[in-house]
Structure 1
Amino acid sequence: MEPRGMKKWRPFATMPEQYIGLQEIINNQVEVAQPVLTEEQMEQINFTLIEAFHTDKQVYLTYYKKGQCVTEKGFIQFVDFLGNLFVFIDEVFELKNKMRLSELIDVRFA
């Protein structure tokens, strides 16, 4: 007698639209609205960014991306307040990430 293996599960994979729809529903449930920062919080973020840039200290960056709040650890490499962007190097892959300042939620020293 020969085992059926993966053939056994093929009838359940006949409707890929169902899996796509379920994944969209799950993603919509996890999504959060972007928090609105006060002037005081934005000033604190700016001061922390400047200090981290000049002292080359490692920071935790919390930012809003595609409906989720993401926290990463890294170093600030460049800050442009007029252009509303900054560049940081993440700790894990050591990649340069360019982001808008308006996406930042929180910055803390590691």
Structure 2
Amino acid sequence: MKVVNPNAPDEYKYEMDYRNIPREYLNPRIPKGRGKVKWAPFATIPEQHERLKQYTEDQNKIDKQQLSDHQLSEINDKLAYKMFHDPQIEVSYFEGGYIRKINGFIHKVDTHEQSLHLYEETGLIKIKLSEITEITEIK
């Protein structure tokens, strides 16, 4: 039988599987390899991964719901009442395929720009009146 590892002790001279030989007896110039890293995904095209991520995010988006005349007049009535009595409200509005909710104090309703101006923790926010889906009271 041929001696595979001439510099190793007698018990490892004829061993064919390098995993059974202690590292100090192996040739140090043999590369170790990538180990378990080789099973990690390899991003060859970063744009492709970004686009796939965008597709999965777009699956959660919804279409803007059309409100009936009754719902629109109800929102208008709540907004008019809240402006003069208790200006703190929670507004649900449509933005970029999602329904967002925000708490704040009514600053003004701009009829020229068709927008609602709210004071929130971070500052003044404008919301288009056509994007509002619901107004609720904060208790």
The structure with more radius of gyration: 2
- CA shift in 2, pair 1:58/1:9, >3 Å: farther
Unaligned runs of 5+ in 2: 1-33
Give aligned pairs, total: 103
* Unpaired stretches in structure 1, ≥5 consecutive residues: none
Q: Matched residues, percent identical?
A: 29
In structure 2, what residue type is equivalent to 1:33?
A: D
Q: Which has the higher contact order (CA 8 A, sep 6+)?
A: 1
Q: TM-score scaled by structure 2?
A: 0.65
CA deviation vs aligned residue, 1:18-45 (integer Å, no higher than 9, x gap) = 2211122112201100011011111111
Q: 1:8 to 1:62 in 2, by over 3 A?
A: same
Of the candidates 85, 101, 111, which is equivalent to residue 55 of structure 1?
85
Match of 1:44 among 70, 74, 81: 74
Distance 1:97 1:70 in 2: 13
Whichever residue aligns with residue 108 of structure 2, its letter is F
Partner of 1:89: 119
Is the helix fraction higher in 1 or 2? 1
Q: Secondary structure at the match of 1:12?
A: coil
* 1:72 pairs with one of 79, 102, 114: 102
Shift of 1:60: 1.0
Once residues 109 and 14 of structure 1 are traced to their aligned partners in structure 2, the CA distance between those partners, rounded to angstroms, is 51
How far apart, in 1, do the equivalents of 2:59 and 2:49 lie? 16
Q: Is the 8 A contact 1:52 1:75 kept in 2?
A: no
Q: Does the aligned pair in 2 maintain the 1:89–1:96 contact within 8 Å? A: yes
